[in-house]
Amino acid sequence: MTVPTITLNNQTTIPQLGFGVFQVPPEETAAAVSTAFEIGYRHIDTAQMYQNEEGVGQAIRDSGIAREELWITSKLNNGFHRPDDARRAFDETLERLGLDTIDLFLIHWPLPTLYDGDYVSTWRTLSEFVEQGRARSVGVSNFQPAHLDRVVEETGVVPAVNQIEVHPYFCNEEARAASIRHGVEVEAWSPIAQGAVLGDEVIGRIAAAHGKTPAQVTLRWHVERGDIVFPKSVSEQRMRENFDIFDFSLSVDEVAAISALDRGAAGRMGPDPDTFDYVPA
């Protein structure tokens, strides 16, 4: 099974399908990521906040897979937006992962109500990591159109990706469109809405027509819209199911029928980035 790649605006190529480890318990992460590697996943999405970067690093070392075949993403935790804190936190991420270079490092949340609304100096700090050759790419997560406009305008440095909540019940079209307008690839988090879309009648009907599961049809919908996805699962069977989405395609009408399930802001699973201000203790 060959996973398609997407070329980012800095000419690096990222596998369009990866494996996310949010809510994978730290002590189970190495085993889960090892299973994902065996299945064929080569792109892992972790974060400082998930407290499982060490497990990801362990699985990388155990795998014996050539470093250049892997794509590893992590994210800056919310308490570390000040430049010196961000530098220190980034050093610690590399150490926990056991890597000299990470493929992608993101500002996890913009936190516009904290740090005097200054996510711009945080963004400048992440650009240093690329200049130093310690990050191949840097990007943002949960950035609304105004946040993206501002970092691009004030720094001239365009993020490689914007990782945002996107699934059939919350298509997040304004943030997607702003990202695409800036040449920023969209990464869709909670791609199956943590399971909430899997009982949907429309998705179920399309799945039955293709002999696929609702999760496979939903992930395929993302792929056909051009977004990057990394569903999370701790079950080997579901990891395999989520990986097996490249032997069928959806019609234009089927893609449109799934997009029409959008409930706007009412469909969000996660917090609103304009007001989210959680800082872990």
- Summarize as ranges the residues that interact with ligand NDP (CB under 6 A): 20-23, 45, 108, 141-142, 163, 189-195, 198, 215, 230-235, 238, 241-242, 270
| Nearer residue to ligand NDP within complex by CB, 59 or 131 | 59
| Nearer residue to ligand NDP within complex by CB, 132 or 247 | 247
Q: How far is the CB of 193 from ligand NDP (least distance, A)?
A: 6
The pairing of beta strand 102-107 with beta strand 19-20: unpaired
| Nearer residue to ligand NDP within complex by CB, 152 or 217 | 217
Is 50 one of the catalytic residues? yes
Distance of CA 78 to the CA centre of its chain: 16
Ranges of beta strands (E only) in 24-179 are: 43-45, 71-76, 102-107, 135-141, 161-165
CA distances from 200 to 48, 138, 249, 262 (A): 33, 35, 19, 12
Q: How far is the CB of 19 from ligand NDP (least distance, A)?
A: 8
Q: How far is the CB of 218 from ligand NDP (least distance, A)?
A: 9
Which candidate in 50, 115, 169, 278 is catalytic?
50
DSSP string, 14-76: EESB-EE-TT--HHHHHHHHHHHHHHT--EEE--GGGT-HHHHHHHHHHH---GGG-EEEEEE
Q: How far is the CB of 231 from ligand NDP (least distance, A)?
A: 4
- The interaxial angle of helices 83-97 and 120-131, nearest 10 deg, is 50
Q: Which residues pair with 72 in a beta bridge?
A: 44
| Nearer residue to ligand NDP within complex by CB, 132 or 226 | 226
Amino acid symbol at 26: P
Q: How far is the CB of 235 from ligand NDP (least distance, A)?
A: 4
Q: Which residue is nearest to ligand NDP (CB)?
A: 20
Amino acid symbol at 262: D
Catalytic residues: 50
